Amino acid sequence: MFSQQNDSLPNIQIRNIDSIKNKRNDTFYKNIQKKSYNSKFTKLLYGLMFEPVNPSNEKKAVQKIENQLQRNFSISQGKIIRHIHVKSLDPFGYTEKDTTVKPHRKIDKIGNALHGKTKAFTAKGLLLYDKNEKLDSLKILETERIMRNQKYIRRVLTRPKPVSKNSDSVDVYIYILDSWSLSVDGNLSSKKGELRLREYNSFGLGHQTTLAYKTGFSKTDDGLKNGTGYTVGYRAQNIFNSYINTELLRDVETDKSYKNYVSIDRDFYSPYARWAGQVSIQENLYRENIYHQEFDTIFKTPLKIGDFNIWGGYAIPIANKNSKEKLPTNLVLAARYTKRKYLKKPGEKIDSVSYFSNHNIILGSVGIRKINYTRDRYIFRNGDIEDIPIGNSYIINAGIQRNQGSHDNMYLGIDLTFSDYFKDFGYLATNIQYGSNFYNGEANQSLFKWQNTYFSPIFSIGTWHFRQFVRSDIVAGIKRKEFIKDRITINEENGIEGFNSLEVFGTRKFVLNFQTQSYVPFSWLGFRMSPYVNFDLGFIGEEPNPFFENDLYTKVGFGFLISNDYFVFDNVKISFAFFPDVPGRGQNIMKLNVNTDNQFDLEPYRYEPPHILEYQ
């Protein structure tokens, strides 16, 4: 069946017209530079070889991409779709733009032979349109975005082709370039080692398989013997083309802590999705580090937790698209019930405020979500099309938390998000959240968050591309419990990457992260090592002291972002950092770190079910 469809696919050939345009542009810019050479500002830019190559104007960026793809939907818009053909391509040596291109290198052929291509019916299960429908270019672009959002798909190109010159029907051809979907990585330290294997496209079905083996080399910090551990997980995605997923996971650590997880879920995967929900059960056993100020020591307390979670939501279109570039605006209604039971927990001597107490939570939410997507390149990848969410959402969460052995609390929270791609300025996303528990009309354990993410227009020095990333994070807790677990830190992903201190905590913080990222113009077997430099600073302290009179901690660093154009694994960061002061660790610390964390993720507008705002 699949081979028959492939035989009907036409070969695509796209001539490289960029070189012709570049020659014209070079002449144009030379003339401009001659005319404006007397400008001191132009002299400076010209002398530094600093040339803006793609200002952050979403319309220009999108039009440039469409020109490079050499397609125009206007001649096919509204015509009836007769047939839909799908062709999957192996990751090495192929291109979705020209199906006549074949791999010649032996290493490419070996890699392709070991790769299972995405099945045609797997790709068709992601389509937002079908045969005998009118062609809608917006649904085609949204389908391409959904496909690119699958880790096992690197690039997608959709081309409608008229059946004949005067026909009212078109055939749609979809060309998919796979990523190498098998990922092998691990961790190694003086205490333990771990080898992980993940397959993101098992059997070409888009399912995810996770396997890991762990072994301990020495005793843990609290003297326990390290043994062996393992991870076994499977996530079946888009079952029967319903966008319903199911997941099973068993994760055992070398100290015998573990996590068991079972889930059935469906996301609001697109503004076109009408419903979403989840049912999940989870059991965790682990040892919690709890610092006790009275004894000035850290207690490693075993915790065993059982969680049950169920929620459902429905999206009602309240404003359909009013132009070819806009997706629907939705009113989203949702309800959720969660239950947590502590099967093992610390005694009153350590937890005098009953922080670890059994509870049930019933929540509802109502919100408006207006989301659209634009496209650009050189953000987190080297030249591939990337989808940038823009829009706004306004969500209210409210409900009741029933605590065992304590009074019930009413909860009210708001979540406001805005993002856009501004001409000649860049991308900016801001998220403001507030939540509070209420008892007898008085607010307690309140929380305010304000997060911003920015990246600049791309600029170049010679053939190298650069962007500037900035992230700010303000968290303020009000009337929090007098307990160490009800405090926040600036450790690692919660503030400054690489910073880790048990002595630095408080009720509020302000963190700024800066990173200048380069995109190298060369690669070896698809691998790129792109240098970056960063600077982080964080204030943290307790109320009611003025915000910027709190303690200040900083980090200066540089490193390399290792990526591969063909593989599905996350980018690897090798960083070298200098910390002037890390309480409890020392001063003037140099640190080498290797991880896959990314501090500058874009606002994904991934719908969060009704929830109590997390204090971190």
Alpha carbons 534 and 514: distance in angstroms, whole number = 5
- Any bridge partners for residue 524, and if so which? 527
**Contacts for 103 with CB less than 8 Å, ≥ 6 apart:** 90, 92, 93, 94, 109, 112
**DSSP codes, 135-161:** P-HHHHHHHHHHHHTSTTEEEEEEEEE
pLDDT at position 44, please?
32
One-letter amino acid at 107 equals I
Contact criterion met (CB below 8 Å) for 525 and 107: yes
At residue 177, φ and ψ (nearest 5 deg) are -100, 115
Q: Which residues pair with 85 in a beta bridge?
A: 173
Place of tokens 């017209």: 17
- Predicted pLDDT of residue 502: 83
Could you tell me if 179 and 192 are in contact, meaning their C-beta atoms sit under 8 angstroms apart? Answer: no
Tokens 């839909």 correspond to 84
H or E element that contains 374: strand 359-376
CA dist., res. 267 & res. 590, Å (int):
42
> Sign of the CA dihedral 311, 333, 612, 429?
positive
Q: Left, alpha or beta for 481 (phi > 0: left; psi -120 to 50: alpha)?
A: beta
∠ CA(232), CA(234), CA(235), 5° rounding? 150
| Backbone angles phi and psi of 45, in degrees to 5 | -65, -45
**pLDDT at 21 (0 to 100):** 36
Helix, strand, coil shares, percent, the chain, to 5? 15, 50, 35
Q: CB atoms < 10 A from the CB of 352, how many? A: 14
What integer pLDDT is reported at residue 384 of this predicted model? 83
Q: Model pTM?
A: 0.80
pLDDT of the residue at 221? 58
Q: What are the two backbone dihedrals, phi and then psi, of residue 111, each rounded to the nearest 5 degrees? A: -60, -40
Tokens describing residue 57: 């104007």
3-class SS of residue 234: strand
Enter the DSSP assignment of 40. Answer: H
Average pLDDT by stretches of 10, the chain with 616 residues: 40 38 39 40 34 47 62 87 94 87 89 91 94 93 92 91 89 94 80 88 94 84 74 96 96 92 95 96 87 66 92 90 71 96 82 81 95 86 84 94 82 94 88 92 90 91 92 92 85 90 90 93 85 94 76 92 80 88 91 74 78 90
Please report, to the nearest 10 degrees, the dihedral formed by the alpha carbons of residues 606, 609, 613, 615 taken in order. Answer: -70
Report d(CA 171, CA 79) in Å as an integer.
Answer: 10
The pLDDT of residue 296:
63
